Every structure is written in C-alpha cells, then in structure tokens.
Amino acid sequence: MPRKKLAMIGAGMIGGTLAHLAALKRLGDVVLYDVVEGMPQGKALDLLESGPIEGFDAAITGTNDIADIAGADVCIVTAGLARKPGMSRDDLLSTNVKIMKAIADGIREHAPDSFVIVITNPLDAMVTTMKKVTGFAKNMVVGQAGVLDSSRYRTFVALELDVSVQSVSAIVLGGHGDDMVPVRSLCHVGGVPVDKLIPAERLEAIEERTRKGGGEIVNLLKTGSAFYSPASAAIRMAEAYLFDKKEILPCAALLEGEYGVDGFYVGVPVQIGAGGVERVVEVELTAAEKKMLAESVEHVRELVAAADKFLSA
Ligand code: TXD
C-alpha cells in the first residue's frame, strides 16, 4: 500500500514541528510548503537526515511550489503571520485572510480530495475562509483549537491536583478567543467531577489561565506563539482521520443547527474518522455555560463578518 501524503502548508514553527511529528509517528510522506525560499527545503533535508537515526523511511521534501502538494491526503495549514506580544488574534485578520484565500485556491486545485485542518489565527475566521474558498464539503474542512485548549485545561487541572494528565478529561468549546468556554461540568478526574476536587475559586483561575493560555506563551517567547502543543493537537486530528479512529475531539466544525448555531464554525466535540468530521456531538451544558457559548459564538460572528469584508475586497 503506498504511503499517505501529508502537506504542511506553512513551514514555520508549527509547520516544522508537524513535519517532525508526522515522520516520528510514521504517518506518511511529508511535503513542507512555504513562500520563504530555502527554509522549507532546509527543514525537510534536516528532518530527512534524522530518518536513519529514528528509523523512518518517509520522503520529506520542502518546496516553494504549491503544486507539489498534489495528491495530499491531509493538508495542515499554518501559513500566515504569528501573533506578536500585545497583538490580538483579530489584528492578524486582514493579512491572513489574503494568505488563506491563496492557499485555499492551491488546495482546491492540487489536493481536491484532502482533509484540511486549519490552524492559522484568527482560527474561526481562517477555517471559514478555507471552507468558502475551497468549496469543499463541510466534513473535510476543520479547525484546530479545541484539542489544544482542552489540553491546556487538562494540564492545569493535573498540575493543581498532582495527578496524571491522562486521568483528566476536559473539553473547551466555542471560538478560539479569550472568551472560549472551558466546560467545568464536563471536566472529570478519574471519573470524578472536577468541582468535587478543586474549590470554585481555584477552578476560576485555572479556567482563566486556559482562556489566556496562548497569550501566556506569547508573552514568554516574545517572538512567536506556541508551536509544540498546537502541532501535537493537529497531528492527533490527522491520525483520527488517517486511521479511521472515530475519535471524539473538540474541533472547530461548521454547525448547521447544532447548538442552535447555523452557518458558523464553532469549537464543539466532533467525531473524526475516515469520513473526516463524521458527526457533531451535542452535549448537555449548564445555563451559565450555554450563555458563555452564546457570547463566544457572537464574537465568532463578528470576526467572520470582518473577514468576509476582506475576502470580498
Ligand atoms: O491553536 C491554534 N489554532 C494556534 C494557532 C495556536 C498557536 C498559534 N496559532 C497560529 O498558527 C499562529 O497565530 C499563526 O497564525 C499560525 C502559525 O504559527 P507559527 O508559529 O508556525 O508561525 P510562523 O513560524 O510564523 O510560520 C508561519 C509560516 C511562515 O514560515 C511564513 O513564511 C509562512 O507561514 N507563510 C506562508 N506560507 C505559504 N504561503 C503563504 N502565502 C504564506 N505566508 C506566510
């Protein structure tokens, strides 16, 4: 059976890490595409030369020609500007809409059957732009935010209780902005509801840290944003697709009536398998969580309206 092909569109910090993880996990051949000359080629060669040590045989190539993504099974898109300190996710909008449009045109032309995972910020607007410009079916275009945001929530809960991260399950819903919704009622530690183990005021602080998790890292790094964990999150989604795992993961999916939302990408639990986003899972929320989700969706609507203006300009 031929190896699968993964196209990493954008070969920056996340793109390079995606390629590394894909090779280490033996997901298939990897193409790293970027507009910067030499950089994707250099990263690809460096990764290729780690193959004999790590024992992988994948072909890893770097390119400045989008046509080289031809036939990709999965495209993971990180191309765009990264957030700088003091810059909101929304400030990135106009530049990244233009970049996303060009890339979506390339994906439609060269990898028309691929499963597309968008990571670029502002995520909710970028994944919407990708869906609109490619015209792909809604199950084949998904945004990565919730897997990472939930992982941050799980990390902070595990640190608080000094338990294994694997004992903590959690989901974060809504847009990938500072008003995302860590769902306390669905956070469990070894099956025990988290609010039985951590007092409310500590949980508030953990949830606030989760919401601001991206900014915390930007402030520390000063010249870029998180890249290890966003790459891990997208690779988890790619694996669910490639291995038909039918895993339930929180992802930005196009809603058509679910959660009372129609026509917008919102972070919700979805099932990912060979059919891409095979199903949106509707979960029971408390009244307070529903209210927070509605506020987050409102922000997504505003963001998408602003992005649409740049898209049609
Ligand atoms: O959870 C999430 N969704 C996120 C998203 C978590 C963290 C960071 N998130 C966003 O991902 C971040 O705000 C950025 O928008 C993207 C990519 O972050 P990364 O850290 O990888 O940024 P880099 O290192 O700047 O890489 C972006 C690359 C860079 O090499 C550019 O040259 C390239 O994108 N780029 C392009 N590639 C191809 N085609 C075009 N047009 C293009 N324009 C820029």
Examine the domain organization and report whether 242 and 131 are in the same domain. Answer: no
Same domain, 295 and 153: yes
77 has pLDDT over 90: yes
Q: Which of 210, 167, 157 is nearest to 191 (CA)?
A: 167
- Ligand 1 centroid – CA 242 distance (Å): 23
Which one of 83, 110, 143 terminates a domain? 143
Q: Do 22 and 124 fall within a single domain?
A: yes
Within this chain, do residues 239 and 282 fall inside the same structural domain, yes or no? yes
Q: Are residues 133 and 252 in the same domain?
A: no
Encoding tokens for residue 168? 């903590």
* CA of residue 12 to ligand 1 center, whole Å: 6
Where does the pLDDT of residue 92 fall: very low under 50, low under 70, confident under 90, or very high at 90 and above?
A: confident
Number of domains in the chain: 2
pLDDT at 84 over 80: no
Q: How many CA atoms lie within 13 A of 103 on its CB side?
A: 30
Asked if 189 and 285 sit in the same domain, the reply is yes
**Is 221 found in the same domain as 124?**
no
Work out which ligand 1 atom sits closest to the CA atom of 79: 34
Based on the domain organization, do 248 and 293 belong to the same domain? yes
The position carrying tokens 């990912």 is 272
| Whether the predicted pLDDT of 87 surpasses 90 | no
State yes or no: pLDDT of 288 exceeds 90. Answer: yes
**Ligand 1 pocket, residue 226 CB under 6 Å:** yes
- Could you tell me the residue range of the domain that residue 252 belongs to? 146-312
Of 124, 143, 162, which residue is a domain's last? 143
Q: Are residues 9 and 100 in the same domain?
A: yes
Query: Which CATH number belongs to the domain containing residue 37 in this structure?
Result: 3.40.50.720
Q: What's the pLDDT tens digit per position in 148-201?
A: 999 999 999 999 999 999 999 999 999 988 899 999 999 999 999 999 999 999
131 pocket-lining for ligand 1 (C-beta < 6 Å)? no
- If asked whether residues 154 and 301 sit together in one domain, one would say yes
The reply to whether ligand 1 has any atom less than 6 angstroms from the CB of 129 is: no
Structure confidence at residue 94 (pLDDT)? 87
Return the residue whose CA atom lies nearest to atom 20 of ligand 1.
Answer: 13
Of 143, 166, 193, the one marking the end of a domain is 143
Claim to verify: residue 223 and residue 270 sit in the same structural domain: yes
Average pLDDT, the chain: 95
What amino acid positions are annotated as catalytic residues? 176
pLDDT per residue as tens digits for the range 3-16: 999 999 999 999 99
Band (224; pLDDT cuts 50, 70, 90): confident
CA of 96 from ligand 1 middle (Å) equals: 9
Binding site membership of 75 for ligand 1 (Cβ less than 6 Å) = no
257-269 pLDDT, tens digit per residue, is 999 999 999 999 9
Q: Which pLDDT belongs to residue 85?
A: 67
Same domain? For 295 and 249 the reply is: yes
Question: What percentage of the chain exceeds 70 in pLDDT?
Answer: 97
